Amino acid sequence: MENTENHIKLVFRVFRATDDIESCKKYVEGHVRVLKIFGITMITSAKAEWFDDPDTYIILVQSEDGEKLYGGARVQVAGGKFPLPIETAVSKFDNSIHSLVKNLAIEGTGELCGLWNSREVAGLGIGSIFLGRVGVAIATQLKLKTLFALCAPATVKNCLNVGFLIENRLGDDGTFYYPKEDLVATAVLLNDIDTLSSADIEEKAKIFELRQDPELKKIEQGPRDKVLDIDFHLTIPNL
């Protein structure tokens, strides 16, 4: 079904970065375009060095025909070719991030990073809610026990809703000036990926639903009378 003014068709898909370099390039182009709107040109999660990293997984939000890209995110597993983006971002303020990641990597940790959505779907919760929900949902496929994220002020509440807690062992009670001196970022950590004990009840139910059926098709009521018709394709190929 084609998009209309109030009906929007979205397809979420997940893949290992090394399996689809062309889609990785489109994801980075979209992310950089959005960052430039906010005057941000240097951000660790927007670097493209991970294109050949088999420990990086991409979540894309696209049109039904795959021609339009509405947003995306990444989950990077710790212990691979590159440090987590949060390590690079935070270490200049607090070097203890490295030992924290190293200790958690023993059982499996990673980072949900690089979340963005295009202006075309702004205000529908694609970047702030849906991508966070999907990132947490697929973490069990990656055998992760914990998951980091670095949040802008507007997204902290949404991160807490899906089970993250502010990591107050880092920085100034979890906060840093990043990526610019006038912007505050908050480090958060999801400590219990399997059970999501701190997550909002409704969010937890939706995440568990995606874990039980990663190929779910669902109609969601969005803001401003928008109807979101979503196909999820969250089974990671070649895992």
pTM of the full predicted structure?
Answer: 0.91
Q: In this structure, how many other beta carbons lie within 10 angstroms of the beta carbon of residue 213?
A: 13
> The tokens 């893949």 sit on which residue?
15
Is 238 in a helix, a strand, or coil?
Answer: coil
Is 5 in a helix, a strand, or coil?
Answer: coil
The Cα–Cα gap between 201 and 208 comes to 11
DSSP per residue over 151-219, as a string?
Answer: E-GGGHHHHHHTT-EE-TTSTBTTEEE-SSTT-EEEEEEES-TTT-TTS-HHHHHHHHHHHH-TT-EEE
Q: Residue 181: pLDDT band by 50, 70, 90 thresholds?
A: confident
What percent of the chain stands above pLDDT 70? Answer: 92
Q: Residue 51: pLDDT band by 50, 70, 90 thresholds?
A: confident
Question: How confident is the model at residue 2, as a pLDDT?
Answer: 55
* 97 token code pair: 């991030």
- pLDDT of 44 over the 70 cut: no
- CATH, range 7-233: 3.40.630.30
Contacts of 234 (CB under 8 A, 6+ apart): 12, 13, 14, 134, 137, 138, 141, 210, 214, 215, 216
The Cα–Cα gap between 11 and 63 comes to 6
- pLDDT of 69 over the 90 cut: yes
The CA dihedral of 149, 174, 151, 94, to the nearest 10 degrees, is -70
- pLDDT tens-place string over residues 120-134: 888 888 887 999 999
Question: How confident is the model at residue 120, as a pLDDT?
Answer: 84
Question: How confident is the model at residue 37, as a pLDDT?
Answer: 59
- Lowest mean per-residue pLDDT among 6-15, 45-54, 159-168: 45-54
- What type of residue sits at position 35? L
Give the length of the chain.
239
Cis peptide before 179 (omega within 30 of 0): yes
Question: How confident is the model at residue 214, as a pLDDT?
Answer: 98
Q: Where are the domains of the chain?
A: 7-233
Q: Are 56 and 74 in contact (CB under 8 A)?
A: yes
Q: Residue 85: pLDDT band by 50, 70, 90 thresholds?
A: very high
Q: Is 54 left (phi over 0), alpha (psi -120 to 50) or beta?
A: alpha
